Amino acid sequence: MDFVAGFFYLFSAVLLLAALRVVTARNPVHAVLYLMLAFSQAAALWLLLKAEFLGIALVLVYLGAVMVLFLFVVMMLDINVDAMRAGFWKHLPLALLLGAVVSAELIAVVWAGFPTATADPAVASRAMHAPDHNNTLELGRLLYRDYLYPIQVAAVILLVAMIAAIALTLRGRKDTKTVDPSLQVRVKATQRLRVLSVPPARVASAPAAGQEEGA
């Protein structure tokens, strides 16, 4: 076993352990931390496969921004863990069934894509690139030239998911002084300022000092 293979098995083992702890951790904050560890190990695997752009993007986007945001959100929310785990055993058979279906699909795809373990010398020769080969440039050409429409569809789906998440988390608070914009548009000029006739307040005169002594 060479140097690269040793690191591959090390990163893979840590990735599997972290992924298992994500779904088995009782504390949501610990689950998010294990998910960040899993993303870091996945980025290391991308670097071993010489896909440095995907590895750096995984660290900067998911590990550096998204997961930190998730961590702060989970820490700020008052999550009732007991209520979340109330129906765990009830939905466990359905979760196992879905997991088995997804695993079978992955195995079928891998088995069909890699029917033999031997490498073709012609394919290996075509996979070798020059030292100045730019993986990022090739990835950009594939994404925005050959797969432009799938990228646009994925962008629309992500936009809809973002709007739905904002709509679900937007809650009306009673202690805020918000005004309905539709009411502001329909208001008339005479209703913006109302002049009221307020009678003057009369201040009672203080009694004299002699009157206080006589009393």
> Tens of pLDDT along 8-65?
899 999 999 999 998 888 877 788 888 889 989 999 998 888 888 888 888 888 887 7
Kindly report the pTM of this predicted structure: 0.55
What is the tens place of the pLDDT at every residue in 118-136?
555 555 555 556 666 777 7
Show the tokens assigned to 144. Answer: 């925005």
pLDDT at residue 202 in the model: 76
- Quote the CA–CA distance of 38 and 36 in Å, as a whole number: 5
The answer to whether 67 touches 36, Cβ cutoff 8 Å, is yes
Only one residue has tokens 């890699």, namely 114
Query: For tokens 């959100």, what's the residue?
Result: 73
Write out pLDDT tens, residues 90-105. Answer: 888 888 899 899 989 8
Give the Å distances, CA to CA, from 169 to 82, 162, 164, 172, 180: 21, 11, 9, 10, 19
pLDDT recorded at residue 160: 93
Q: Which residues touch 42 (CB under 8 Å, ≥6 apart)?
A: 15, 58
User: If pLDDT is split at 50, 70 and 90, which confidence band does 153 have?
Assistant: very high
Q: Determine the Cα–Cα distance for residues 22 and 16; give it in Å rounded to an integer.
A: 10
